[in-house]
C-alpha cells in the first residue's frame, strides 16, 4: 500500500527522546521498517537538558548529550530512519494510520508510537533560564548529588516538591521549601515527614521573584505575598516543582486523559485507536524517569510487533481471497 506514491512504514515513532529511541531500537531489531520523527532537529528530548545521568542501571555516569548520541547511533545501526518534522495530528484510514506534519507531509503506517514527552512548568522569573543547568534544576533525583553540603531551595507545595525536598536533605545541609500558600498541597504523610526533618525550612506565603548569582546560582529574591516584604536567601541551587506539562496537544477528545492532560493507555501502552501506542512522559503514570520511559517503549514496541504480525496475516488472507475471486470470475 502507498500514500501519494510513498510506500508505507511498519512503525512511525513520534518523539526522539529516550522512550522514542528505545522503541525504535526494538522495532529496528525486529526488522520493521521504522521512521523516527522529532520536531527539535536533534534527538534526545529532555536528555539534552540533563548534565549528568548517574541513576541508569549499569551506567555509572554519562552526560545527557552522550546518551542521546549513543541512542541515535545504535538505532541507525538497525536501519531506523530519523527525520525531523512537527507532527500536528494523525488519523485512521482503514487498518492503516496517517501521520501528518506541519509542512503538509503525510506518512502512511501500520502502527504509531507517540513519545512526545513534556516540559517542566517554568517560574518565568529573571535568572531561571540563564542559570538552567548551573543551579536551576527540575529533577532532584537527577541532580541532587551535585549539591552536597549546600543550602538548597525547592519551589512548590505539591507531592513532588515536598517529596523531593526530603530527598535533597541527603545532600544539602539545609533545604528551603518556598510555597505561595500557608500550607502545602502534598499528602499529609509527606508533609509530616518533611516538617519532622530538621534540615527542612518552610518559607510560607512566598514566591520567587528572581534567581541570581555570578556564574551559578547564589541567591534568590523572595517576596512575601501577604506583606509584600522581600528577602534574599543565599542558596547554591533551586529545584522547581510547579507542575509538568505533557506535550499531548495532538490527541483529540477521543483519547482519554487524566486531569493533568496526560494520555491514558492500557497495559500494552495502547490507546483506544488500535495500533496507536503512547509511551514515556506524555503517558499518565506514577514515575517519570529514563528507566521507566524505556520500559514503556519496550512494551509498546513488542505490542506493535505482534499487532503488525496479525495485520500482515490478515492482509495476506484478504489478498488470497481477492485473487481467488478474480480467478473464479475469469
| CA–CA separation, 34 and 75 (whole Å) | 10
Which of 10, 38, 139, 281 does the annotation list as catalytic? 139
- For residue 225, give the C-alpha cell: 505575598
Among candidate residues 10, 143, 281, 296, the one labeled active-site is: 143
Q: Is 66 a catalytic residue?
A: no
Catalytically annotated residue among 10, 38, 142, 296: 142
Please give the DSSP secondary-structure letter assigned to residue 62. Answer: E
Q: Which of 27, 239, 220, 254 is nearest to 126 (CA)?
A: 220
| 142 annotated active-site | yes
DSSP state letter for 181? S
Angle at 296 between CA 186 and CA 36, to 5 degrees: 120
Q: Which residue(s) pair with 6 in the sheet?
A: 3
Helix (H), strand (E) counts: the chain: 6, 21
What is the distance between the alpha carbons of residues 22 and 169, in angstroms, rounded to a whole number? 33
Residues annotated as catalytic (active site), given as ranges: 139, 142-143
Amino acid at each position: 500500500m502507498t500514500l501519494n506514491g510513498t510506500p508505507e512504514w511498519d512503525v512511525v515513532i513520534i518523539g526522539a527522546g529516550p522512550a522514542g529511541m528505545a522503541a525504535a531500537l526494538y522495532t529496528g531489531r525486529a526488522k520493521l521498517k521504522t521512521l523516527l520523527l522529532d520536531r527539535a532537529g536533534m534527538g534526545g528530548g529532555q536528555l539534552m537538558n540533563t548534565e549528568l545521568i548517574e541513576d541508569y542501571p549499569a551506567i555509572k555516569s554519562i552526560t545527557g548529550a552522550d546518551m542521546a548520541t549513543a541512542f541515535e547511533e545504535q538505532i541507525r545501526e538497525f536501519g531506523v530512519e530519523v527525520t525531523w518534522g512537527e507532527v500536528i495530528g494523525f488519523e485512521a484510514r482503514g487498518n492503516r494510520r496517517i501521520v501528518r506534519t506541519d509542512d503538509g507531509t503525510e506518512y502512511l503506517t501500520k502502527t504509531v508510537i507517540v513519545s512526545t514527552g513534556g516540559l517542566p512548568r517554568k517560574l518565568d522569573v529573571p535568572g531561571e533560564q540563564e542559570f538552567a543547568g548551573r543551579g536551576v534544576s527540575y529533577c532532584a533525583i537527577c541532580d541532587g548529588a551535585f549539591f552536597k553540603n549546600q543550602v538548597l531551595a525547592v519551589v512548590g507545595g505539591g507531592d513532588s516538591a515536598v517529596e523531593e525536598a526530603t530527598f535533597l536533605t541527603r545532600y544539602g545541609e539545609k533545604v528551603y521549601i518556598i510555597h505561595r500558600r500557608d500550607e502545602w498541597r502534598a499528602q499529609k504523610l509527606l508533609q509530616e515527614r518533611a516538617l519532622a526533618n530538621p534540615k527542612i525550612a518552610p518559607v510560607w506565603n512566598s514566591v520567587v521573584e528572581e534567581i541570581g548569582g555570578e556564574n551559578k546560582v547564589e541567591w534568590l529574591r523572595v517576596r512575601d505575598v501577604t506583606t509584600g516584604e522581600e528577602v534574599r536567601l543565599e542558596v547554591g541551587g533551586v529545584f522547581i516543582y510547579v507542575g509538568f506539562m505533557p506535550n499531548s496537544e495532538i490527541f483529540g477528545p477521543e483519547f482519554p486523559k487524566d486531569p493533568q492532560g496526560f494520555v491514558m493507555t492500557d497495559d500494552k501502552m495502547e490507546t483506544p485507536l488500535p495500533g496507536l501506542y503512547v509511551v514515556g512522559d506524555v503517558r499518565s503514570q506514577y514515575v517519570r524517569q529514563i528507566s521507566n520511559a524505556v520500559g514503556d517503549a519496550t512494551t509498546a514496541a513488542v505490542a506493535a510487533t505482534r499487532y503488525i504480525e496479525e495485520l500482515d496475516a490478515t492482509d495476506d488472507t484478504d489478498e488470497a481471497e481477492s485473487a481467488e475471486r478474480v480467478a473464479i470470475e475469469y
